[in-house]
Structure formats: C-alpha cells, structure tokens
Amino acid sequence: MAESKSKVLIIGATGYIGTYLVRASVKLEHPTFILVRSLTPSDPAKAQLIKSFQDSGVTVLKGDVGDRESLVAALRQVDVVISSVNQAEALSSQVNILEAAKETGTIKRFIPSEFGNEVDRLEIDFKVLEGVFQKKRNVRREIEKSGIPYTVVLNGGFAGIFVAGLANDKVSAPPRDKVTIWGDGTAKAILNTEEDIATYTIKSVDDPRTANKLLHIRPKENFLSQGELVALWEKKIGHTLEKTVVSKEELKKIIEESPFPANSRYAIRHSIFVKGDQTSFELGESDKDVEATELYPDVHYTTVSTYLDQFV
C-alpha cells in the first residue's frame, strides 16, 4: 500500500511565492493547509485568493506566527511546515515557528523562507542587503540547532521578476525598444519559473534525500547572463534593442545614492547580474548540497527560452 502524503502547512500563502506553493501542493495531492491572520480579510483580492484556495480543497486555519497558541494549534494538524514570509521584518519570526514545532514534537520537515541566493556562500557588498541576508543566516543556525529536519530551497532568480523584464526594474514584459545592461552583461545568473520552484519544493517534503540539505534548483539551460537573456529575446522578436550600459562603478553609485527600497532592488541586480553570486560556487563544496533536476528527472521544467515565448 502506498504511503500517504504529508499534510503541508504553508505560512505566507497569499504572498508572491506562497500562492505557487499552495497550488503545487494541491496539484501533487498533499492535504494542504494555510495559515491566515483573518478568515475574512478586508483586501478583496486577498479574500478572493483565499476563497479560490478553499474551492480547491485547501484547509484555512486562523492564526499568526506571533501568536504561540494559534501557531501550535495549527502545527498539531500537519506534518510539514513551509514558510514563505516575504517581508524582511517577518524573517526573524520564523524562530517562533521552530519553537512551536518543538512544542508539538510532530513536525517532520521545516522549509524556511529562502527561495533565492545561497546566503552562506556569498559576501554582502552593500549595507542595504545585510539585514535580510543576516536574518536568513540566523534562522538557518536556529534551524540547525533545533533538531527539526529541514530543507533550504535555493532557486536563484524568479522568472516573473528577472526574465519577464530582462533584468530591468519594474517591467512586467520584455521591452521591445530599449534595455539597460548592468555591468558588462556577462555574469551568469540562475533563472527559474515560480511554478517549477514550487513543484520542486513540494516534491522534496517527503524525500529523505533532501532532509537537512540545501536543495539547489540549477537546470543548465537556465544559466544565463543578462547579455545572453537579451540576445535570446532579440532573436525571438527579430530586431536589436537599444542598449544603455550602466557600469559596475555607476551602479554602485546609484545604489549608494538611492533611497530604500530602490537601493535594495539595484543591489540585488548587482549581486545577480554584475557579480554573479548565484553561480560563484560549485555544488559539492558543501556536503549538504543536492540538486533538484537530478533528484526529480520526472519534472519537466520550463527553460528561459520557453518562458519568453509567451511574450512574443
């Protein structure tokens, strides 16, 4: 008889990556739960999203990571907890989830809110990123001390943010006239669709091979520099874009002089597309490294090229 799938609780379910995680969990037939502060939120869009989750079979639990009693009550109903809190100030609150998980004594896996760069293997160049990255590091250390099995998901960049705009800021579709190039445009990034990131995450929750591991999502076809990304788009639309090049020195000055949160967005682009932090190390440098496409060859991931086809 096949082993039943774990009950999955997603905290931060109405956030950016959270919505994809919920849908992937339902699609992969896990009993799926979400934690919300209010069962009837005042935001109509959020209320509609929660209703759509309920219509797909998701169990909605009222609670908050700052309310120990409600958090413990929610965790007692599930086997796995995935955190996708996406606000910098909320990252540290994940320690509350760990404490509640220790109290229940039944959580089989905790997946913290990372979903980005490998913070333990990069140097932070700009003060604006220190807070978020250090909070992620601190949470990792607390998880390691807790004794609760964990998986850290490291997916590189979100296609919906970095591919759709060709790494330009606040662009929801690839430009057809002009584009800004950061640095010399040659640093390699790792770019994955949100759907694939969520699928690999949910696939990992019952997998003993991902327990206490760093799950890297690194399909080779999705290693691209910004220059290669722009060239790929130009080939698809049949003409060349006008390019404005911002040198790394100019970008550094922009970061230093811009207010928050613009300086944070520019600093992230420096990290990914100028410095190449996402591809600055090889897998295997840590005995915790595992790679998603190798573990789950049955997942037909979307390449950057295929992703761009929807905009042509």
CA distances from 76 to 4, 150, 204 (A): 17, 17, 21
Average of per-residue pLDDT across 129-146: 93
**Whole-number pLDDT of residue 213:** 98
Closest CA to 228 of 271, 158, 181: 181
Is the CB of residue 128 less than 8 Å from the CB of residue 80? no
Q: Work out the pLDDT band at 172, boundaries 50, 70, 90.
A: confident
- Highest mean pLDDT among 82-91, 103-112, 119-128, 129-138 belongs to 103-112
Amino acid at 288: K
Give the SS3 label for residue 245. strand
Kindly state the DSSP code that residue 272 receives in the 8-state scheme. I
Give the integer Cα–Cα distance in Å for 161 and 172.
Answer: 7
Catalytically active residues, by annotation: 136
Question: Dihedral of the CA atoms 40, 78, 288, 88 (nearest 10)?
Answer: 20
Give the SS3 label for residue 39. coil
Minimum mean pLDDT range among 100-114, 121-135, 207-221: 121-135
Mean pLDDT computed over every residue of the chain: 95
* pLDDT one-digit tens code per residue, 73-95: 999 999 999 999 976 668 889 99
If one counts every other C-beta atom within 10 angstroms of the C-beta of residue 272, the result is 25
Whether 2 has a pLDDT exceeding 60, the answer reads no
Q: Are β-strands 80-83 and 32-36 bridged in parallel, bridged antiparallel, or unpaired?
A: unpaired
Q: Work out the pLDDT band at 108, boundaries 50, 70, 90.
A: very high
* pLDDT one-digit tens code per residue, 224-248: 999 999 999 999 999 999 999 999 9
Q: Tell me which residue has tokens 């760093």.
A: 214
Buried b (16+ CB within 10 A) or exposed e, 85-99: beeeebbbbbbebbe
**Whole-number pLDDT of residue 91:** 85
Give the integer Cα–Cα distance in Å for 7 and 292.
Answer: 21
* pLDDT one-digit tens code per residue, 272-281: 999 999 999 9
Whether 1 has a pLDDT exceeding 50, the answer reads no
